[in-house]
Structure 1
């Protein structure tokens, strides 16, 4: 046996193989005949145009796939990437979500009728439940609108029609809140579960399938209906975080403006929760940080709105100096806005500025206990803004504080004839009835009959017995 017979390289040659370490001996393997989007002649842009061939599951590699149903649904609709008719997966290509758990009739409670005065139940202005839901909303019949929305959810809505399901649910919950049925609304909203879960997200775009106003309302119901104030605050902060991310990712200025407005709304809602908790000073400091840091209030109208809210909160606290600082900042901001925008109607801007500032200044006089000066301020405003129910009502209240009950009662009675009814107006007028006569109940019932006989408006028509102090 010679030495060459035991050499590993010679041994490899005897078997027809080449050692992997010898690059000089590497043999090129001929390319296998395969068909795919890169070498298929029908996808050649210079070739004759033909219909693109879709990739079916039989052409895919034989490897384990995820058991999720979206995989086969998406891959069955994908065409060749080089095809001129290729389509990207859309929402219709994805498996539809089943929202049948929101269509269960047992979720929606029967609304109590013992809290409604009899004139509203027997009024000829009351519509039929068969009227369309938009018509009920436009005329302020929120009780019937809530019943109609629940009936549509339980009978005629498809469980996969997400847009209709969430629109009707939002209508139902909002109407319950307008009827002061917050406890019922909170119980029904609880069926939605955790809105931050991946189930409510689009699998491709990660967009939330629940409309933004409904998400805001659900957070408020969690705080108001069950008294979980901290959960409500944290819910608004979570939505604010999402709004900030959306502002950073937005491509157009209009989209950024929408998300900035939503961010500002989250900040205002946090202050609202603090007020409902009784933390008025905390609400004032929170609103102050919004205007100081410009958190979503970069536009002039947004800053003005937050300053007015902050001033009202400080007036409720009793901190008149803080309220006056807000009024001064409001006045300075209005002057800067008028100087920058020369094309805007100066007269209209002046009236709007004077109304906001003059209203706050009149409230400051009430907080100081100077009712004589407050009556003079409200009288001047009432002379300019005859149709403003808020100004007329505050004037009547100041007259009541000064002992001029007959004048205050006349103002409020006249206001009920020209203005849509609202809680504060009815409550104050019924209080005057209690002060003026021992037969106040008859006056209250007669007032309820007059209000029930009026033409409905979108502000609201049906009122509760507590509004009339019955």
Structure 2
């Protein structure tokens, strides 16, 4: 399989020629993050930003086409919640055929998947509509179908569909834990800050980025993984944050300002996540503490900061953050607050107290799978391994399985018997026999079962 190297952002020949472009588009002048008169994080949001759907849709097939262009059913979503402005100038068409290089996309390895998942009788066909594959949680097949449609069935100038299919491809690779492949394939974009990726609707028209915001955010993270440089990810998020501040200052209404304010906060939280992955937990805590803590979003930030301080081992700071988060809202979340308080007991080295706290939560929230799993882990820490095993096995039968549940139950099998592989394979067969419901991914890897 041919390898794919990095595309030089300055080599416009690799990106294809303009179909109708009278002049080159220069890079716009920028302002620093502190030059915004109205700070997006200073004002409290009057209302939350329009929710974005977690469902991935697929582009439709033209009805006049003589042959099926692709097995896709629904149109690609437009960029999140921003108001649509109409201009009299026709959009410029560009050639994105470099995104359709088949050598840029890898064959997905089957060696990382347990045999029961590869041989399951209820696996749908890869020719199924991508919507159907996504809704049933078959992300591997959705990734394969997206790449096929991207390479063979999409015009090179239809950048909306190309970007949408690439977003599906990269997202599904991450969902099946193929982050390394996703990072390599994301390099096909080259430099997303290149002027090639910007549109200009003419005199008086808006100049904006062609690539959807969510895909740009994903590519920044994958760029850090692909080049092995976490600082590259931090720099990418700060570049997106600068754009958020600039767009916020030019927004024409409160709804648009709220969209950019939310995006700016999201970039800040993602920077903290990268710092955690770098091992700089103290820096992540200080960074989160520096974010604005007003409003409902501020409560979420405080809760994330609590978890960071717990990982750092500073229980006192975690308690202060949790207390601040609890008092910042008029409608406290009993489940969330109770879970964090129980985790504080565990961090204090008191697993017995944590067992009592999680047992009380399970009485109040008997259908919550995460509470049951945390209770099982605490029971394991106190030596009550039989109870932990029984609880996790019941949880597998009663709720939608998730990765940490399967991993913890496989660990208990290892502690209980030397013939643990049989128990793991039986668990894999049970997982593969279920029908995907879209609540969680259907496929699980060897790593989840510790095989």
Q: TM-score, with normalisation over the residues of structure 2?
A: 0.79
Runs of 4+ in 1 over 4 A off after TM superposition: none
Confirm or deny: 8 A CA contact 2:19 2:93 kept in the other structure: no
Partner of 2:367: 387
CA distance in 1, matches of 2:87, 2:311: 56
Aligned to 1:308: 303
The answer to whether the 8 A contact 2:20-2:94 is kept is no
Aligned length: 367
Pick the structure with greater CA Rg. Answer: 1
SS in 2 for 1:207: strand
1:107 maps onto 2:104 in alignment: yes
Partner SS, residue 95 of structure 1: coil
Question: Which residues in structure 2 correspond to 1:391-402 (within 5 Å)?
Answer: 391-402=371-382
Distance in 1, matches of 2:192 and 2:22, equals 24
| SS of equivalent to 1:428 | helix
Q: Which residue of 2 aligns with 1:193?
A: 190
Partner SS for 2:259: helix
Aligned to 2:450: 469
Equivalent residue, structure 2, for 1:209: 210
Instruction: Report the CA distance between 1:318 and its aligned residue.
Output: 0.5
Taking only aligned residues, the RMSD between alpha carbons, in angstroms, comes to 1.6
Over 3 Å counting, the alpha-carbon distance change for 1:416 and 1:402 in structure 2 is: same
Q: 1:281-292 alignment to 2 at 5 Å? A: 281-290=282-291
- The correspondence for 1:138, drawn from 135, 139, 153, is 135
1:424, distance to aligned residue in structure 2 (A): 1.0
CA contact (8 A) 1:70 1:94 kept: no
Match of 1:222 in 2: 223
In structure 1, the gaps of 5 or more residues are 1-66, 73-86, 339-348
Does 1:320 pair with 2:315?
Answer: yes
| 8 Å Cα contact 1:330-1:357 kept in structure 2 | no
Aligned ranges for residues 418-429 of structure 1 at < 5 Å?
Answer: 418-429=398-409
Per-residue CA deviation, residues 21-54 of structure 1 (Å, 9 max, x unaligned), is xxxxxxxxxxxxxxxxxxxxxxxxxxxxxxxxxx
Instruction: Give the equivalent residue in structure 1 for 2:275.
Output: 274
SS in 2 for 1:160: coil
Q: How does 1:333-348 map to 2 (within 5 A)?
A: 333-334=328-329, 338=330
Q: How does 1:124-273 map to 2 (within 5 A)?
A: 124-204=121-201, 205-273=206-274
Corresponding position of 2:88: 89
Helix, strand or coil at the partner of 1:177: helix
Q: Take 2:290 and 2:237, find their aligned partners in 1: how far apart are those partners?
A: 16
Alignment partners' CA distance in 1, 2:357 and 2:104? 51
| Offset of residue 68 of structure 1 | 9.8
User: What SS does the corresponding residue of 1:465 show, helix, strand or coil?
Assistant: coil
Distance 2:393 2:363 in 1: 18
Distance in 1 separating the partners of 2:21 and 2:216: 26
CA distance in 1, matches of 2:312, 2:220: 26
Match of 1:433 in 2: 413
Counterparts of 1:405-424 in structure 2, within 5 Å, are 405-424=385-404
Structure 1 residues 127, 241: closer, same or farther in 2, change over 3 A? Answer: same
1:421 Cα deviation after fit: 2.0
Higher relative contact order, structure no. (Cα contacts within 8 Å, ≥ 6 residues apart): 2
Residue 186 of structure 1, CA deviation:
1.1
Match for 2:345 among 343, 365, 374? 365
Partner of 2:373, secondary structure, is helix
* Aligned mates of 2:370, 2:317 — CA distance in 1: 23
Distance 1:419 1:225, change over 3 A: farther
Equivalent-residue separation in structure 1 for 2:285 and 2:122 (angstroms): 43
Give the Cα–Cα distance (whole angstroms) in 2 for the partners of residues 424 and 400 of structure 1.
15
Gaps of 5+ in 2: 1-17, 24-85
| Structure 1 CA distance for aligned equivalents of residues 302 and 158 of structure 2 | 41
CA distance in 2, matches of 1:416, 1:425: 8
Q: Which residue of 2 aligns with 1:55?
A: none
Counterpart of 1:356 in structure 2 is: 336
Separation in 1 of the partners of 2:443 and 2:207?
Answer: 41
The alignment partner of 1:467 has SS state of coil
Counterpart position of 1:52: none
Aligned to 1:25: none
